[in-house]
Amino acid sequence: MGDLVPDSRLRDINQTQKERLSHIDFKVCFLGTIGRGDLVRRFGIKEAAATRDIALYRELAPRNLEYDTKGKLYARSDAFEPLFKHSPDQVLAALAYGFGDDFVGAHKGLVACELPAQLNKPFLPTLSVLTRAIWQAKAVRIGYRSLESGRTMREIVPFALVDNGLRWHVRGYDRRRSKFSDFVITRIFNPAIIDSPIEDHETRESDIQWNRIVEMEIVPHPSLAHPKTIETDYAMENGVLQVNVRAAVAGYVLRRWNIDCTQDHSLEGPEYHLWLKNRQALYGVENLVLAPGYEKNEDGKGGD
């Protein structure tokens, strides 16, 4: 998952075991716990080998783990310091897509690949608190800087990470405003997991916008001279791209892909290749202020 922190004690450890040690380090750092079963399932090793790996990790980083007798697993200690260096890109890829969390060494692409510049990246210690809270179903006390309220202190109950294509958010219940919201991770400071009961109305299951699926019918913009080009670009069937997204992220998707949401497909510009044919599907979506051409509150529901 990450590059080794320079340590002469690691020189004689073979690459396979280094990968398992890196996996332990990653799981503890960002999920908060590790057990023998994690290693057995991930690497197909025997429990005895998993026990030896954890023992070696504790020898190399004696202050990182505490044994949870109730859960029968090892938990992150307050004195935890990563044994490996984890890059933000690797961490986010592992958390979002479920791969790469055990990679040790330098990353090299198999072919030349150029990606858009990412102007801001989450501060990993902040991300670590949030992901552990999500994994362990805990509440978090955070400092937050918003454009509307400035600097405030809040308690949130996070349950998911959201990538809107430009930056990462955490989705959760905001106890200050008594509603579910997205929080830009780079605007969060001094987060801390708190021992506070989670009420039913604060859980993912109660987030209507998160659980509602919006079925969008996207077509080539009617102003295009050659719509077949766009049909091919997006692998449309019969000239339509069917996209199902959570209502909570619908606005992000519409803005990221510059989808014209006006009733009469009236937006002009070379960036508008797509038009939302069934804009009535957006009724009740809360973040439509982000959708190109969708007037705020035009249906009584749009906008914040």
Domains and CATH numbers, the chain: 3-97 (1.10.10.10), 124-206 (2.30.30), 212-290 (no CATH)
pLDDT higher than 90, residue 46: yes
In tens, the pLDDT along 170-212 reads 999 999 999 999 999 999 999 999 999 999 999 999 999 999 9
> Residue 281 carries which side chain, given as an amino acid letter?
A
Question: What are the CB-based long-range contacts (under 8 Å, 24+) for 103-106?
Answer: 103/1, 103/2, 103/19, 103/22, 104/1, 104/2, 104/3, 104/4, 104/15, 104/18, 104/19, 104/22, 105/3, 106/3
- Across the range 69-93, mean pLDDT stands at 90
Assign 114 a pLDDT band (cuts: 50, 70, 90): low
Residues of the chain with pLDDT > 90, as a percent, come to 76
What integer pLDDT is reported at residue 87 of this predicted model? 86
What integer pLDDT is reported at residue 17 of this predicted model? 92
